[in-house]
Structure 1
Amino acid sequence: MSDAAIHPVRFILSDVDGTLLHPDHSLSQRTADAVRALRDAGVLFSLASGRPPKAMLHLIETFGIDVPVAGFNGGTLIHPDGRVLIAHHLPAEAALIALALFSAEPEVEVWMFADGDWLRRGSPGPMEPRETAGLGYGPQVVESFEPYLDRVDKIVAASLNTQLLVELEARLHPKVEGLAQVSRSQPVYLDVTAMLANKGEALKTLAEHLGVALEHTAAIGDGGNDPAMFEVAGLAIAMGQAEETVKRRANVVTGTNIEDGAAEAFERFILPSHAIR
């Protein structure tokens, strides 16, 4: 908190699901008002999410964002009009390793994101409606993932068996070390992306693009893919419902997303230093 006073935050990079949104993917008026207050105070505000970029376009409009945002955990940065700024693809070798590991688990639904689209093979599973509700559209059904291996944005293992995903994460890490990032964006999703496709790299790239020093940045999130941006942000804020391993890597902890913890953090830690005198 004292650091925030010494280095007023000029740019915030925020996670979306579990942070700005309630569990039902709704946006509270308090959070919407807090983001508006940030922008009115001259604080640059952007999003970093595991979502595909095209699923973030309505969020860009909702929040009135006028700077680039990061989709696919930082794998693809897009301008507010949807134009690609930077894209990092998963190496085919890492994609094949992840697909083989995940496909061997009956409780896991395996999804691929390529060309910005959500792809699945076979019959739909129980996790698909949840993802459809979050993205606002459903997957394309393909016979094989092989034709897309040269342009994979992200591979996802989705399962209600969260312990299984923890185990798969631990098993996959050594197999793709140096080739890919592996992290749980939410307890029920295990994401595999390119090495540079992480929120920490996204924060550094966006801050440089906007001309903001890292000590004047803040990051807020709740998932296993968020500490990457905590490590480089001037102020790192963890949501109240985050796992303890995530909270320990933040500077401060705010309320849960049900309690509008993001709005609370903006009101307590950032807006006071920008108060109009």
Structure 2
Amino acid sequence: MYKLICIDLDGTLLDTRQRVSTKNREAIRKALDQGIEVAIVSGRPNCFTIRIMNQISGRMGHITFNGAYYRIANKTRQFPIPKEAVMKVAKLAQKYHVRTYFKNKNLSLCTKSDPGILDYDQFKSQTPLKDQMDMLYNVDVVDVLSNQDINILKIFAWDENLENVRKMREELKEIEGINLYLYDENFEMSSEDTSKGKAIQNVCADLGIQLDEVVCIGDNYNDLSMFEVAGLSVAMENAPRKIKEMVDKVTLTNDESGVAYAIENFVLKENE
């Protein structure tokens, strides 16, 4: 019997217009009504995931910042990046003048101005006070973090000067204590103790759930760590072919309410 469903957000629960379908909402509520825990699992911060959860059910949980924070069934934990590593990143951001965001649950310190790419202020009116994120720009992060004890859960960087981004990335590879995720035009990092999969393992330990009682639904390579620990791994039809070859089941696309199809056919029917 399955007791926990973990659902990725972008490309999975959300359709291509960033909406949650009626079918997905109804299927999640059915699972919750049957006593199954359901959690959003995302690299996004609380202020974003809470907004989505409020559209579905207050009974849902979430794992955010790629596993650096979670709150499920009144169990809460967070895994900050080591302070020494954060300071090294802050100094490199200063050295190369790269726009870098240092984030925790309630705060984002940005080394430059933000052109609206990560403007979480737009979600404040839809977010409880305890999960609101304050965005501070043009911050001397080295100075702030030298004088204040602030836990950083995730660091994200991008900049118009791609050459400086590349130079900074090369030096980041020498820093210990972090998981570094490199993309063509940006990068992000978290504590080496975090991943979606590790967070799910910790949640299961907290809730007394066995890993073979967990269903994970996702669409991309950053979901592999949770697929690896799941009792049942489910990829969206819109996932890359290699991902679909690595999972137990494939559901419909995110524009076809693939999450609802997976819950109805792979979870609720199995639990009958």
TM-score band (shorter)? 0.7 to 0.9
Map 1:60-75 → 2, pairs under 5 A: 60-66=53-59, 68-75=61-68
Counterparts of 1:160-179 in structure 2, within 5 Å, are 171=170, 174-176=173-175, 179=177
Share of identical aligned residues, percent?
25
Of stretches 147-156 and 239-248 in structure 1, the one that deviates more from structure 2 is: 239-248
Letter in 2 for 1:175: E
* Residue 154 (1) aligns with residue 154 (2): yes
Q: Is the 8 A contact 1:111 1:155 kept in 2?
A: yes
**SS of residue paired to 1:148:** helix
Structure 1 residue 85 corresponds to structure 2 residue 76 = yes
Q: Which moved more, 1:188-197 or 1:68-77?
A: 188-197
Query: 1:59 and 2:52 equivalent?
Result: yes
- Greater shift, 244-253 or 194-203, is seen at 244-253
Alignment of 1:1-277 (within 5 A): 8-66=1-59, 68-79=61-72, 85-99=76-90, 109-114=99-104, 116-125=106-115, 127-128=117-118, 139-146=135-142, 147-148=144-145, 150-158=150-158, 171=170, 174-176=173-175, 179-183=177-181, 190-275=187-272
Whether the aligned pair in 1 keeps the contact of 2:45 and 2:105 (CA below 8 Å) is no
Match of 1:4 in 2: none
- Counterpart contact for 2:32–2:59, Cα < 8 Å: no
**Per-residue Cα deviation, 1:115-173 (whole angstroms, up to 9, x for no partner):** 532232322236345x66688777322421222375211011347999x99x8998578
**Is the 8 Å Cα contact of residues 100 and 112 (structure 2) preserved in structure 1?**
no
Which structure dedicates a bigger proportion of its chain to helix?
2
- Per-residue deviation at 1:230? 1.0
Change (3 A) 1:219 1:88: same
Whole-angstrom CA distance in 1 between matches of 2:73 and 2:106: 16
User: 1:197 offset after TM fit, Å?
Assistant: 2.1
Q: Say if 2:235 and 2:244, in contact at 8 Å, map to a contact too.
A: yes
Q: Distance in 2 between matches of 1:251 and 1:245?
A: 13
Q: Contact 2:121–2:134 at 8 Å: present in 1 too?
A: yes
With over 3 angstroms needed to count, the CA separation of the structure-2 counterparts of 1:216 and 1:80, relative to structure 1, is: closer
State the alpha-carbon separation in 2 of the partners of residues 169 and 23 from structure 1.
Answer: 32
Contact 1:57 1:80 in 2 (8 A): no
1:72-115 CA-to-partner distances (Å, cap 9, x unmatched) read 1111122577xx72111112343345456677888x74222035
* Residues 58, 23 of structure 1: alpha-carbon distance in 2 compared, 3 angstrom cutoff: same
1:193: Cα distance to partner?
0.6
Say which SS state the counterpart of residue 151 (structure 1) adopts.
coil
- Aligned-pair RMSD on alpha carbons? 3.6
Do the aligned residues in 2 keep the contact of 1:52 with 1:117 (CA within 8 Å)? no
Indicate how the Cα distance of structure 1 residues 128 and 47 shifts in structure 2: closer, same or farther if over 3 A, else same. Answer: closer
- Provide the TM-score with structure 2 as the length reference: 0.77
Mapped to 2, the partners of 1:29 and 1:159 lie a distance apart of: 37
Give the aligned partner of residue 129 of structure 2.
Answer: none
TM-score normalized with structure 1 length? 0.76
Equivalent position SS for 1:250: coil
1:56 is paired with a residue whose SS is helix
One-letter identity of the residue aligned with 2:181? S
